[in-house]
Structure 1
Amino acid sequence: MTSYKIEAGTAQHIGNRPQQNDRTALMTGARAPGYVLAVLSDGIASSAGAEQVLHTARQVFDEFKPGDRPSLERLTQVLQDMVSEAHLVIKMNAVAAKAEIHASFVGLILTPHGEAVWAHVGDSRLYRFENGRCALRTSDAAYVDHLLADRLPLDAAKNHRKSKLLLNVLGNERKDPYVTVGSHTGLAAGDCFLLCSDGLWHFFTDAELAAVTSKASPRQASEMLINKAGERSQGKGGNCTMAIIKLVKPAQDGSFAANKVV
């Protein structure tokens, strides 16, 4: 039995782009009571890739049967299955459409045993906050190390976003996505997770994001971050999307609270 309840919400803003290519969702497992999935994807050039990511994530999560208590490795594999299956389908869809379809991926599973497991591909990010401070955030650092291990020159590795061959995304027909994974146990009230696209994180420091998410509800934090991102981008910001999952002291009914801002 966990010593917290979950407050969660999602939010999006189109920015100055002609369409919203990001997608995000919060899900509960059809066969996994007490398990929660948060997933976010940034579609590159169109929303097709991101929509496929969410569709595949829901299918894989609905098929997940945890049993008594799955290992962290098994939970990680669930997220990796989402990545590999979505990557395959996106590539097939791109062939049919005769167009390039790419997307990022951030997925987070919370268990009823106080555990969190996540996976990350591309420019979108996951942050983990503890009592108002940033304890961790995903980045491209692990991917750059991976490229260097493949004997790629440092300058080329650091400039991988400029190369279709090296770009780390789902749907890249030249290279399978490199998945960064992580986990944390002993979750408690005061912990918070933020999944967001680069249209949000580009405009904030880790400390700013930690402060806002710790002091406000997911709905209030989403509104503040979207408004401030709009100010700082001076009308030139891209799609801005986030999912916030806060662990708070339980109410008497131990309920799950969710809200959404569009």
Structure 2
Amino acid sequence: MSQARARLQLQAATGIHRGDRQYQQDRIEIFPHPRVQGLILVVVADGMGGRSGGRMAADQVMLTAQQLFERFVPSQEEPLDLLHSLVRESHLMIKLSAISAEQEPHSTVACALLQPDGHCHWAHVGDSRVHVFRAGKLVVRTKDHSYVQDLVDAGTLSEGMARNHPMSNVLTSSLGTTEDPPLTSDSLQLQAGDVLLLCTDGLWHYFVDAELGSSLGRLDPRDSCEFLIAKARQRAMGRGDNLSLAVVKLLRAEAPATPPKRPPKLHG
């Protein structure tokens, strides 16, 4: 059996911290499928819209994700169809929530569906990111739907300059806006040793990809979450945003894989 199709087991953890903000509007979850062994859905959402509006939007993303995933039948449905439905239905529900609450809630979303054989599918809207690292090197990273990413794509701004640009937090798309969000998605066959990272901009803003890859390569998921949150908090120097991350490391299974337990969650 090839490495790509070998049995895999997962190590996973999530971390979340309020940063220096008054309110926590990030949400992060790893959902194990209720019926399919080894199938998980990872979702991160960064809410926007005032004290309660942002949290409302992020909560709606999580509720929609959980409901769709519990109904998902992988033998009959395509993984990317599930992720596209997650994006579309979250967007619609946030817009409906805005009408009843008289607020302007919005949210980013980054989500990844990881199958028992290591096949990974992901989608995102906004500037929450999906990364895949192999041997500490970046293999895949989603492109933000943001003003500075457009400048980077146009060649007028470098990645380093974009990170510290005064308009780095200006999004060109998010859930809950008037226009429908783009359906940006992709897939990759993962293998033993690969690490999947999903995080909000409150975390990735303080790291280059090489730093993330090095940390994730040498630490287990729980220690990675602790280390990266501590380092981000240190670099924020009292001005940090909400931050959240999920880390999933794939290992070669020595025995038949068992369903992943709900991973440890670190709170700050």
Distance 2:68 2:92 in 1: 14
1:250 aligns with 2:248: no
Unaligned runs of 5+ in 1: 147-153
**TM-score, normalising length from structure 1?**
0.86
Query: Of 221, 226, 236, which residue of structure 2 is paired with 1:223?
Result: 226
Residue deviations 1:187-213, cap 9 Å, x none?
A: 211111100000000000001001111
Which residue of structure 1 lines up, in the alignment, with residue 40 of structure 2?
Answer: 36
Which residue of structure 2 lines up, in the alignment, with residue 149 of structure 1?
Answer: none
Which residue of structure 1 lines up, in the alignment, with residue 12 of structure 2?
Answer: 8
Measure how far apart 1:124 and its partner are.
0.6
1:113 aligns with 2:117: yes
Q: Structure 1 pair 236/141, CA: closer, same or farther in 2 (3 Å)?
A: closer
Query: Of 79, 82, 94, which residue of structure 1 is paired with 2:83?
Result: 79
Q: Structure 1 pair 77/254, CA: closer, same or farther in 2 (3 Å)?
A: closer
- The answer to whether the Cα contact below 8 Å between 2:42 and 2:113 also exists between their aligned partners in 1 is yes
- The answer to whether the Cα contact below 8 Å between 1:160 and 1:167 also exists between their aligned partners in 2 is no
1:50 aligns with 2:44: no
Trace 1:135-214 onto structure 2 (pairs within 5 A).
Answer: 135-140=139-144, 162=170, 167-173=172-178, 175-185=179-189, 187-214=190-217
- The answer to whether the Cα contact below 8 Å between 1:22 and 1:239 also exists between their aligned partners in 2 is yes
Distance 1:92 1:196 in 2: 26
Give RMSD over aligned pairs.
2.6
Residue deviations 1:119-150, cap 9 Å, x none?
A: 0100111111111111111112799999xxxx
Aligned length: 245
Measure how far apart 1:253 and its partner are.
6.2
SS at match of 2:197: strand
- The answer to whether the Cα contact below 8 Å between 1:31 and 1:64 also exists between their aligned partners in 2 is no
SS at match of 1:32: coil
Distance 2:30 2:145 in 1: 27
1:128 aligns with 2:145: no
- The answer to whether the Cα contact below 8 Å between 1:32 and 1:64 also exists between their aligned partners in 2 is no
Q: Structure 1 pair 160/87, CA: closer, same or farther in 2 (3 Å)?
A: farther
| Percent identity of paired positions between Structure 1 and Structure 2 | 37
Distance 1:137 1:35 in 2: 22
Distance 1:142 1:171 in 2: 16
Measure how far apart 1:161 and its partner are.
6.1
Unaligned runs of 5+ in 2: 151-155
Q: Structure 1 pair 144/81, CA: closer, same or farther in 2 (3 Å)?
A: farther
